[in-house]
């Protein structure tokens, strides 16, 4: 069954690229940085700053793609576009989905490296 949180082919390629020994350390860094981003996004839900949302989503989009978190990548890309067009109402509605998918990705990646 295909893991809908982490794309197996992308994750497998990352494993080949960095090696089995290095992958847990990289995932730990991703998880730590993502946890910080979740905190930042939760603050932005209260005080929307579209520029900060767009910047954060751009970074999230890139790193999520590297680890195969394609749902996160998609949400981040959509939010980046919304924030850049100052669609504050849409940003407020979409931020919880991004946060939830980030938490799912952290959990899924941690399980892969246990």
Q: Which domain holds residue 99?
A: 8-112
**Mean pLDDT, 10 residues at a time, over the chain (114 residues)?**
77 93 93 92 90 94 94 96 95 95 94 83
pLDDT at 3: 54
**C-alpha angle 53-9-80 in degrees, rounded to nearest 5:** 10
Q: Is residue 62 part of a domain?
A: yes
Q: Would 100 be classed as within a structural domain?
A: yes
Look at the chain and report how many structural domains it folds into: 1
The reply to whether 71 falls in a domain is yes
Q: What is the CATH number of the domain that holds 87?
A: 1.20.120
Structural domain includes residue 3? no
Flag whether 78 is in a domain: yes
Interatomic CA distance for residues 112 and 11, integer angstroms? 10
Asked, for residue 2, whether it belongs to a domain, the answer is no
Residue 1 within any structural domain of the chain: no
């Amino acid at each position: 069954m295909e893991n809908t949180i982490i794309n197996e082919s992308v994750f497998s390629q990352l494993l080949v690229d960095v090696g089995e020994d290095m992958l847990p350390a990289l995932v730990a860094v991703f998880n730590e940085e993502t946890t910080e981003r979740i905190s930042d996004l939760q603050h932005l839900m209260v005080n929307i700053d579209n520029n900060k949302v767009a910047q954060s989503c751009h970074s999230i989009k890139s790193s999520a793609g590297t680890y195969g978190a394609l749902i996160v990548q998609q949400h981040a890309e959509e939010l980046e576009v919304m924030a850049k067009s100052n669609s504050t109402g849409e940003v407020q509605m979409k931020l919880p989905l991004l946060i939830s998918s980030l938490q799912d990705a952290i959990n899924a990646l941690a399980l892969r490296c246990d």
